[in-house]
Structure 1
Amino acid sequence: MADPAAVQEWWPDSGAGRGWVLATSRREDAQLSGHGRTLIRLGLYTDAESRAYLQRRLTNAGHAHLHDPAQAGEIAGELGHLPLALGHAAAYLINKRRTMGDYLTLLRDTSSRLGDLLPPSGDTEGYGRPVTASLLLSLNAAQESDTSGLTRHLLHLASLMDPLGHPATTWTTTAVLSYLRTARPPQRRWLRRHHPAVTEPEVHSALGTLHIYALITQDTTTAPIRIHALTARAVRETIPSSTLPAMARTAADAILSLWPRHDHEERELAAALRTNAVHLDELTRPALWQPETHPCIYQVSRSLTDAGLYQQAVEYDERIARHSNDIHGPDHPDTLTARNNLAISYSHPGRAQDALNLRERVLADYERILGEDHPDTLTARHNLARARDAAAAVQQPDTATPATAPDHQLPSDTPEQPV
């Protein structure tokens, strides 16, 4: 049921006391609980229920050998413990004779379509429609009831964020409001195509509509916004490839604009922004790397260090350096910046010699590519001097005072001087 008004005549008179009427709907708005009606929310499977379901389905079909307890939990997590999706996934495993490991690989491949991984032929539980169509059943109804023309665009943006939650203020940042202004259908005014400004009340209204149709969840108007992982994936499959890069960079701009000046002052917000930035990059790569690496990529590195997560910072910066080398090439300024950040991260967990060796190579590359007098070269030379001091302090702790490690460097067009 998408529209309560359409079934108004079917509701029994309150107090009649004869019989029951059961209606299913993804909507959660207040009118469904009026006139003596009771709204019963049906939740997802628990982790234990999801695992037990997959084991029972495979065993009953004579394919218990396909079941792997650990991978069953991973599949359940990837599918968000949605009964509908688990039923289709079990049928896929049985019909294709694929191992759970094989299925996980396909499921995590963003180029795979849900319609192939959760096909209608897997509808052994009698749900009656493909999973993708079921998840997006309410989207058209939501669009029809929203006068702002923003619901689809906001849902597209939300689908790129971490399913476990992102700040509600993301969608009223200047970057998002500007994007929505040009993304929604223009209005004809004074014989010209006109894109009126998008207001915060319009965004809140559109988000409220998405919440009513259970396409997103939000406990309060200021609480983080969440979207079911499978709904997000189904939505992403409807995003035109031509609009994805601009959409990804808009989301990254919004994330960066919300980052606190000092992470330790708002630790929970900083952690949420780190998670969302990494998730966004993984889903849309190389959108945040072309034509230049988005500053949001570097901000994650700095934030991990500020949070004292030194080993995570090293692992992150090693990945970023590899990605930059693959996407931009070894001599690109952004790759040099990524390697510089990696050297800084090395200096924190006690790898002073590694940091020194990498800084020497980075400085040599800066001098070769940008010249000896370029600001980034001067910064790299300063960083090397500090790394040498730090290495000397490790070798002679009684006679040397360790230097404070420099802050992470931003892209080459706006280099930040070390502390």
Structure 2
Amino acid sequence: MLCHVLSGTGGAGKTQLAAHHARTTWEAGNTDLLVWVTATDRAAILSAYAEAAAAVTGTDDAQRLGADDPERAAARFLNWAQSTDRRWLIVLDDVADPADLSGLGGRLALWPPTHPRGRTVVTTRRRDAALPGHRVDIGLFTPAEAVAYLTAKLAAQDRREDPEDIAALARDLGRLPLALAQAATYLVDLHLSCAEYRVRLADRARTLPELVPEDSGLPDAHRTTVAATWSLSVEHADRLRPRGLARPMLQLIALLDPNGIPTTVVTSPPALAHLSAHRTPGQGGHPPERLIGTEDAVEALRCLHRLSLADHTPGTPHQAVRVHALVQRATRETLPEAAREALARTCADALFTVWPDTERDTALARSLRANTAALTAHAPGALWESRAHPVLFRAGDSLGHAGLVTSAVTHFQDLHATACRHRGPDHADALQARHRQAWWRGMAGDAAGAALAYRELSADELRLLGPDHADTLDTRHALAWWRGMAGDAAGAATGFEELLADYLRLLGPDHLHCLVTRGNLIHWRGEAGDAAGAAAGFEELLTDHLRVLGPDHPDTLNVRHGRAWWRGTAGDAAGAATAFEHLLADYLRVLGPDHPTVLTARSDLAHWWAEAGDAAHAAAAYRDLLADSLRVLGSDHPNSLHARRGLARCRGAAGDAVGAAVALEELMADYLRVLGPDHAETANACAELARWRAAAEDADGAGTASADRRHGGCPQ
């Protein structure tokens, strides 16, 4: 059988069995490729398959493959698995919804892939999972298996116990693999006999019968067993050095993502403050005046790892801490509601503290979003104590910055509804959620809808906050911008002109808000038709930025960006390219190579090289940019799509109109899927496609190649 589905309740040992099989198969040299996927949702599966596709196709193919959407990347990997001569093993661990695997990779890719040299293993808690393959129900150990497990664990430490005592302990533990693993570690670590452990277990079981909740999926007796073994293990972990920190650390991670918590979160200042304030009393450890440091927090994690209460793998810093969901639930249930909500706010503080203002590391951002989602699910009301916790807004903006703009809109729509329930529609939290929802609505392609939303928000803020409040002015700024993006460049310029007058009155000419507003006013005057005036305006504005902010301030660099762009738009493409070359060197020095602004500047430099007639140079720049955009931002980010469009344009300019048309046809499918038919970038790509289709049809012998796709890309 090429696919096995391990099905069973939490704590039954499905993941351990899959891991053991994968490890032994790999170590025996019986597989050439091992793909392990934490398959909690479809996006995680597609992402892992895209990475696998890059690994098996090599560097040249990886760039092309990564440029496709995740569904196509998955299809290519699965098709590779069906045709390769290499031996492979795919493990999909903890499939929550069988629908996540439905149609995986499209109609041409089989799932699971069928090949005599390949194997697929799936673990799931869903006993009703309609998954292809041979289902193996993983339940409790048999009496013999439970005894054999405990006997082997003890024998590995040269421990010999009475077989009757071992069998009795296995019965007491309900033969549940998770409980057996924790108890075995406890026995070995404390040098207890099975008889002694049974006495402690019985006492703990009588006093903590409700620690694992009824909806955990375990029978009553097993809930009691997990609670008792958990309590004994955490009590012992608390006695290990650094003493008294294991329990508060376990409480902290019990509210976060069980599939991976970044090291920086559990070693952040809020986390360390929690460990200091909640250190288990009565332990020797350090002198009372000694503050808890990062090393202490890491050692507390090692204590939990040692007692099988959590997994700590420092080599994967963004997912260094993993903890079983049953252990999390048992831990949370020991906390009074007030303590649990206070702990949730500590976790939110920790996440917000480590969340970078600029997300250069997409894997870290993805992990922080997952942890925020888990925290919100575990303590939905705790983050609304007085004001909405800022991590809720940061998570939504992170979705947008990752290119998941539709998800960002939905996030802030839900956040607004929650704010209305908790605080009412006129509260600052509700207004801020409306502001962010409108912004990402515009970024998702609905510029007119964003302008309308900001117009309505502006009226409410004028009523509630007054005309001179910072939030009112900020909304007017956004309204003017999206008015311009919706096609009313002159109206946008008027809006910024009026806003500038108020900023000058309230803040003075050298305030950053005034300088930024001047830049936007110049930009929209340029968009209204005065390109030469815009270039001159940015030249004048640069003088003030240099005086007020200095040459290396990011806003000063952005003004240079505007000056270079409008110089090219006014007709001097070569001068614009030279200006961008100089600017890019400073951007790299100040912001670093992976900053989004740097990637945008590289795109604009390639654009002006192409406009100046150097298509080959531009194409090389777009290829390099695409590789970095895929690495930093992912294949669906608008910047990655834009780089692909630039590369196709250069291909056409170099004489390959058919190749440009074909590339744009493939790209159009991604624009429609990611941004939708009404987005301005989709419209631009559609116009570009029409241009190169026409050029291809005019070329000798090219008409047939393009005609087949004449109606297959742009929205009709």
Q: CA deviation at 1:266?
A: 0.8
Q: Please, what is the CA RMSD of the aligned residues?
A: 3.9
Task: Number of aligned residue pairs: give it.
Answer: 310
Question: For 1:208-219, what aligned pairs fall within 5 Å after superposition?
Answer: 208-219=302-313
* Deviations 1:28-76, CA, capped at 9 Å, x for gaps: xxxxxxxxxxxxxxxx99767766x975xxxxxxxxxxx5648xxxxx9
Task: Choose the corresponding residue for 1:206, options 300, 305, 309.
Answer: 300
Q: Is the 8 A contact 1:370 1:377 kept in 2?
A: yes
Aligned match of 1:282:
377
Q: Is the 8 A contact 1:45 1:82 kept in 2?
A: no
Q: CA deviation at 1:286?
A: 1.3
Q: CA deviation at 1:130?
A: 3.5
Q: CA deviation at 1:167?
A: 0.7
1:238 correspondence with 2:338? no
Q: Is the 8 A contact 2:425 2:431 kept in 1?
A: yes
Q: Is the 8 A contact 1:115 1:131 kept in 2?
A: no
Amino acid corresponding to residue 247 of structure 1 in structure 2 = L
Aligned match of 1:307:
402
Aligned match of 1:413:
none
Aligned match of 2:323:
227
Question: For 1:320-399, what aligned pairs fall within 5 Å after superposition?
Answer: 320-392=415-487
Q: Is the 8 A contact 2:448 2:486 kept in 1?
A: yes
Q: Is the 8 A contact 1:217 1:225 kept in 2?
A: yes
1:150 correspondence with 2:245? yes
Report the CA distance shift for 1:244/1:121 in structure 2 as closer, same or farther (over 3 A). Answer: closer
Q: Tell me the TM-score normalised to structure 2 length.
A: 0.39
Unaligned 5+ segments in structure 2 are: 1-91, 96-120, 132-136, 142-172, 177-209, 497-511, 518-716
Aligned match of 1:197:
291
1:170 correspondence with 2:265? yes
Q: Is the 8 A contact 1:165 1:226 kept in 2?
A: yes
Amino acid corresponding to residue 260 of structure 1 in structure 2 = P
Cα distance in 1, alignment partners of residues 175 and 129 from structure 2: 17
Amino acid corresponding to residue 248 of structure 1 in structure 2 = A
* Deviations 1:75-107, CA, capped at 9 Å, x for gaps: x9xxxx88589999xxxxxxxxxxxxxxxxxxx
Question: For 1:69-148, what aligned pairs fall within 5 Å after superposition?
Answer: 69=130, 114-117=212-215, 129-148=224-243
Aligned match of 1:292:
387
Q: CA deviation at 1:213?
A: 0.6
Aligned match of 1:261:
357
Report the CA distance shift for 1:86/1:260 in structure 2 as closer, same or farther (over 3 A). Answer: farther
Report the CA distance shift for 1:316/1:202 in structure 2 as closer, same or farther (over 3 A). Answer: same
Q: CA deviation at 1:128?
A: 9.7
Q: Is the 8 A contact 2:211 2:224 kept in 1?
A: no
Amino acid corresponding to residue 335 of structure 1 in structure 2 = A
Report the CA distance shift for 1:119/1:260 in structure 2 as closer, same or farther (over 3 A). Answer: closer
The structure whose RCO (Cα within 8 Å, separation 6+) is larger is 1
Unaligned 5+ segments in structure 1 are: 1-43, 56-66, 71-75, 89-111, 404-415
Cα distance in 1, alignment partners of residues 218 and 353 from structure 2: 42
Once the two structures are aligned, what percentage of the paired residues are identical?
A: 31
Cα distance in 2, alignment partners of residues 199 and 233 from structure 1: 27
Q: CA deviation at 1:135?
A: 4.5
Cα distance in 1, alignment partners of residues 211 and 448 from structure 2: 47
Q: CA deviation at 1:194?
A: 5.6
Cα distance in 1, alignment partners of residues 471 and 298 from structure 2: 43
Cα distance in 1, alignment partners of residues 452 and 406 from structure 2: 18
Cα distance in 2, alignment partners of residues 113 and 210 from structure 1: 18
Q: CA deviation at 1:241?
A: 1.4
Aligned match of 1:60:
none
* Deviations 1:388-410, CA, capped at 9 Å, x for gaps: 1112269x9xxx9xx9xxxxxxx
Cα distance in 2, alignment partners of residues 134 and 204 from structure 1: 23
Amino acid corresponding to residue 285 of structure 1 in structure 2 = P
Q: Tell me the TM-score normalised to structure 1 length.
A: 0.64
* Deviations 1:102-131, CA, capped at 9 Å, x for gaps: xxxxxxxxxx984423588555xxx69544
* Deviations 1:197-237, CA, capped at 9 Å, x for gaps: 11222222211110001111022366411111221111111
